[in-house]
Amino acid sequence: MEYGICLLSLVPMRAETSDKAEIVTQMLFGECYDLVARDGNWVRVKLATDGYEGWIDHKQHNPVTSSYYQEWASTKHPRVMDLVQVVTGNDTRIPIGIGSYLPFFDGMSIRVNDETMVYNGRASNSTASATTAQLVKIASNFIKAPYLWGGKSIFGIDCSGFTQQVFGICGYQLPRDAYQQVSHGEEVHFVTQAQPGDLAYFSNDEGRIIHVGIVLEGQTIMHAHGEVRIDTLDHNGIYNAERKRYSHNLRIIKRITF
C-alpha cells in the first residue's frame, strides 16, 4: 500500500481520469490519503479523514511512509483558523486557507515525514470541543465564499463541504455529502425548537437529501447556495427574500452533541 499527503493549498479529486472530469471533492493542505489505484498519469486516492475517493494528477501526489500515515490517521490535528496563511520550509512557501490541516503542530511547526515546516498563524485546539458560539463564529468566516461543486475552501465551497469544514474545525468529523451527514445527530422535531449549530437538511421531489445548512438565531440559516449566505428558515424550508421564493424544501433538522 502507498500513502501520501497534500502539500498544496488544494488538490481537486475528480470522478474520472481527466482534467475535464467532475470535481467530486478537494483535499486540503496537510490531509493524508492512501492510493487505491493507478491509471496512466492519474492516481485514485482515499482520504484518511472521511474515506472519500477520487482521481488526482500524479504530479500532485506527495508520498509519505506507512508509519507516518498510520501516526497521522490516529492523531487529531489542529486546523488553520486564519482565512489565508502560509507554511514555510527550507526552500518552500505554501499558501494555505482556513480549515487546512497542521500535522503534528507544536505551536510553531508542523512535521511532514522527516521535514519540519513553520506555521505562524492561528490554529484550532484539537483537544477541546468547540462551543455553539464558537461554531457559529467559525461558520461566519465563510460568508460570501462562492459556491463550487466539490469545493471545500474559502475560495469555493459547496453546501456539505461548508458544514463538513465548520464542524471539522470544531473537532467533529462529518462525512462528505449531505445525504451521509444526515445520519449524524439527534432529530429536532420542530423548527421552533432548533438551536444555533443544528444542521437542517433539505430534499428534492424524490425525497433525496440534496442540501444542508447550519441553523442560526432567529430562525435563520447559513448555507452555500450561490455563495455562503444567510436566509430565513421555517417549517417549509429556506426562503430567499431577495428572490421572494423558497429555494429548498425542509426535510429534517439534526442536533450534534460534541
pLDDT tier, 155 (very low <50, low <70, confident <90, very high otherwise): very high
Q: What is the pLDDT of residue 91?
A: 87
pTM: 0.96
Q: What is the pLDDT of residue 79?
A: 97
Taking every pair of Cα atoms in the chain, the longest distance, rounded to a whole number of angstroms, is 56
Which residues make Cβ contacts (< 8 Å) with residue 114, sequence separation at least 6? none
| Residue 128 clears pLDDT 90, i.e. is over it | no
Instruction: Give Cα separations from 235 to 51, 188, 207 (angstroms).
Output: 33, 12, 16
d(CA 161, CA 232): 21
pLDDT tier, 258 (very low <50, low <70, confident <90, very high otherwise): confident
| Residue 240 clears pLDDT 90, i.e. is over it | yes
| Residue 90 clears pLDDT 90, i.e. is over it | no
Closest CA to 224 of 145, 138, 133: 145
Alpha-carbon dihedral of residues 71, 76, 81, 85, nearest 10 degrees? 0
More confident residue, 126 or 49: 49
